[in-house]
């Protein structure tokens, strides 16, 4: 008998890094969902995309280490990552490299995409 298909969960990430510890909670939730074999669709809204910045010193903001664990998600589960095109362009303009390669979506396309997920959490 074939294994059942994994459930799809959409995670809407809206917390920018460095402001408070909620950004780490976003990562922890994504890792927990991956451990429970959910297929993930992760939507980074606006400045939340900066959680994926490859080079940053989180110690100066007194934040816990581990943000680079976002890069491990594709190894743990089927994870697709999305971001707003304008923020991807802003990162490229400022030479900010990202640890994942989000697919660009317009805000309207992003909303339509997360509405197709069986489960959605805004974190």
Q: Which backbone phi and psi does 64 adopt, to 5 degrees? A: -70, 150
CATH number of this structure's domain 8-122, picked from the four choices 3.90.79.10, 3.40.50.1950, 3.40.1260.10, 3.40.50.720: 3.40.1260.10
Q: Does 15 have pLDDT greater than 60?
A: yes
What pTM value is reported for the model?
A: 0.84
Where do the structural domains in the chain lie, given as residue ranges?
8-122
Interval 99-115: pLDDT, tens: 999 999 999 999 999 99
Is the distance from CB of 99 to CB of 71 less than 8 angstroms? yes
CA distances from 50 to 5, 35, 59, 72, 80 (A): 32, 24, 16, 17, 17
- What digits encode the pLDDT tens for the residues 51-62? 888 876 555 444
Question: Half-sphere exposure (CA, 13 Å, Cβ side) for 94?
Answer: 12
pLDDT of residue 61: 47
């Amino acid at each position: 008998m074939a294994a059942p298909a994994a459930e799809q969960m959409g995670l809407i990430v809206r917390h920018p890094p460095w402001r408070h510890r909620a950004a780490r909670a976003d990562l922890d939730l994504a890792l927990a969902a991956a451990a429970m074999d959910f297929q993930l669709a992760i939507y980074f809204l606006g400045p939340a995309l900066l959680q994926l910045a490859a080079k940053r010193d989180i110690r100066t903001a007194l934040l816990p280490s581990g943000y680079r664990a976002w890069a491990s998600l594709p190894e743990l589960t089927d994870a697709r990552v999305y971001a707003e095109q304008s923020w991807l362009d802003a990162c490229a303009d400022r030479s900010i490299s990202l640890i994942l390669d989000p697919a660009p979506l317009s805000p309207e396309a992003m909303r339509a995409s997360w509405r197709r997920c069986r489960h959605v959490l805004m974190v």
